[in-house]
C-alpha cells in the first residue's frame, strides 16, 4: 500500500478544517504546548509519537501543527505511512496561527 500525499493548509484553512470536524494535533513538547498552543489542539509530542499515534482516529481528518511546520510534517508523513489517509500539515505552525490572530491558549489559561 502506498502512502497518500500530505496535504498542506494555511492557518485560516486549518481552522476551517477544524471547524468542519478535523482534529488538531500538536506534536511539540509539553513545555512548548504549555507556553502557547492553538485553541482545541490535542498534544501528542513527536518524541512519543511512534508509541501514541494509534490514539488518533483514522476516520476523522487530522491537522498536524508544531512550532513552524517541520515536526508536524514528519508526524504527518509517519501517519500516512501507517494507514492514515486524510492528514494535513499546517504551514507555519503555531507561530503562523498566532500571528494570524487565530485563537490560542497561553500559559496557565
Using DSSP bridges, classify how beta strands 36-38 and 104-106 pair: parallel, antiparallel or unpaired: antiparallel
pTM: 0.94
**Cα–Cα distances in Å, from 21 out to 17, 18, 24, 34, 59?**
6, 5, 9, 24, 11
Domain at 7-102: CATH architecture: 3-Layer(aba) Sandwich (3.40)
Per-residue pLDDT of the chain (109 residues; tens, 9 = 90+): 456 899 999 999 999 999 999 999 999 999 999 999 999 999 999 999 999 999 999 999 999 999 999 999 999 999 999 999 999 999 999 999 999 999 999 986 5
Rounded distance, CA 79 to CA 97, Å? 22
pLDDT at 8: 97
pLDDT at 106: 93
pLDDT at 109: 53
In which residue are the cell numbers 512548548 written? 32
Hey, which residues are catalytic here?
66
Amino acid at each position: 500500500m502506498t502512502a497518500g500525499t500530505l496535504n498542506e493548509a494555511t492557518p485560516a484553512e486549518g481552522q476551517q478544517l477544524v471547524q468542519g470536524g478535523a482534529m488538531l494535533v500538536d506534536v511539540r513538547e509539553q513545555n512548548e504546548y504549555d507556553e502557547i498552543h492553538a485553541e482545541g489542539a490535542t498534544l501528542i509530542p513527536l518524541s512519543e509519537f511512534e508509541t501514541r499515534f494509534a490514539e488518533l482516529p483514522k476516520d476523522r481528518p487530522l491537522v498536524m501543527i508544531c512550532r513552524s511546520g517541520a515536526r508536524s510534517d514528519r508526524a504527518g508523513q509517519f501517519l500516512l505511512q501507517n494507514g492514515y489517509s486524510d492528514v494535513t500539515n499546517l504551514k507555519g505552525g503555531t507561530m503562523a496561527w498566532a500571528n494570524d490572530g487565530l485563537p490560542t491558549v497561553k500559559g496557565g489559561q
